[in-house]
Amino acid sequence: MFVVDVEGKKLLIVMTTGPEDPEKTYAPFYTAALSAAMEIDTSMYFLMHAPKLLKKGSAEQVKLKKGGTLKQFIDMALEGGVKFYACEESLRSLCEIDPADVIEGVKIVGSSTLADLALEADSVLSF
Amino acid sequence: MTFINGCELPDDLFYFVEGNQMSWVKFEGNEAVIGLTDPAQTRAGKIVVIRVKEVGTTRPKGKPLATIESGKWAGAVLSPLTGTVIKVNEQLTSNPELINNDPYGQGWIVRLSVANQEEKAALLSGEKAMEKYRELIAKDNIRCMRCKQ
């Protein structure tokens, strides 16, 4: 048993991997859910191919070798209070997704928000 | 003991059900022992790590008492009551699977000194608790097949 003082700490997880590499997708959500459970103010920022994971119906199609799909990990993070931000430019231009087709709970923001979140965070993890 | 889809639910415990939380509470005077229920440990799968707040920590109701990691789930065990941690189950550090194998016995997680006995009224017990569990177990399609060690 050990406890690190995490009061008031902020963690940002930057996600660039999309459904093209399923085995690299779930650990960031797992880490985010756990971090939120530890009472760390946790955010995830999705850019490049990662917003594809947030399209309605997409996570259900990402099958994991360990069994199940990515959806359970996304739900776990959202239910745990992790904040999701998707880069609008990546979403529209690279992923060709209409913001209306994104799952609930995701805030669609500009690239400048990534800088804000990174500078506010105590630590940034990138996947 | 009540069995729902193979899940054991002792009739003499109190139950905290809120969001995805499914924990049990056993009152002993002004103290409360807390653990995960059989359906909760089944849903989590084999637990590999548990971190519990240290003795002396005061937790308001609804704030994390512990974090649990399994292969398919990571999350918090929220405090069902406001209170101060007076004892943690040290055995779980080296053997977190006790929660899976014996959730109501050796797998207990923490003992609290209860700050506000009135919060007990918000916990479920008896037939009300079983009714709620029938609903949750059906919703998540949980089937318990726990093996004793």
CB within 8 Å: B93 and A1: yes
**What CATH homologous superfamily does A10-126 map to?**
DsrEFH-like (3.40.1260.10)
Cβ–Cβ contact B58 with A under 8 A: no
3-state DSSP of A13-24: EEECCCCCCHHH
Decide which of 1.20.950.20, 3.90.1570.10, 2.40.50.100, 2.40.50.140 is the CATH code for B2-116. Answer: 2.40.50.100
Maximal C-alpha separation, chain B: 38
Mean pLDDT, rounded, for B30-49:
94
> Chains A, B: CB contacts under 8 A, how many?
46
Cβ–Cβ contact A72 with B under 8 A: yes
Cα A29 from Cα A91, distance rounded (Å): 19
Tens-digit pLDDT profile for residues A60-99: 999 998 888 999 999 999 999 999 999 999 999 999 999 9
Cβ–Cβ contact B90 with A under 8 A: yes
CB within 8 Å: B74 and A3: no
Tens-digit pLDDT profile for residues B83-129: 999 999 999 999 999 999 999 999 999 999 999 999 999 999 999 99
Q: Which residue has the tokens 């918000």?
A: B122
User: Could you tell me if B111 and B34 are in contact, meaning their C-beta atoms sit under 8 angstroms apart?
Assistant: yes
The three-point CA angle A15-A11-B76 to 5° equals 100
* Global ipTM: 0.76
CB within 8 Å: A33 and B90: no
Chain A residue with minimum CA distance to B57: A3
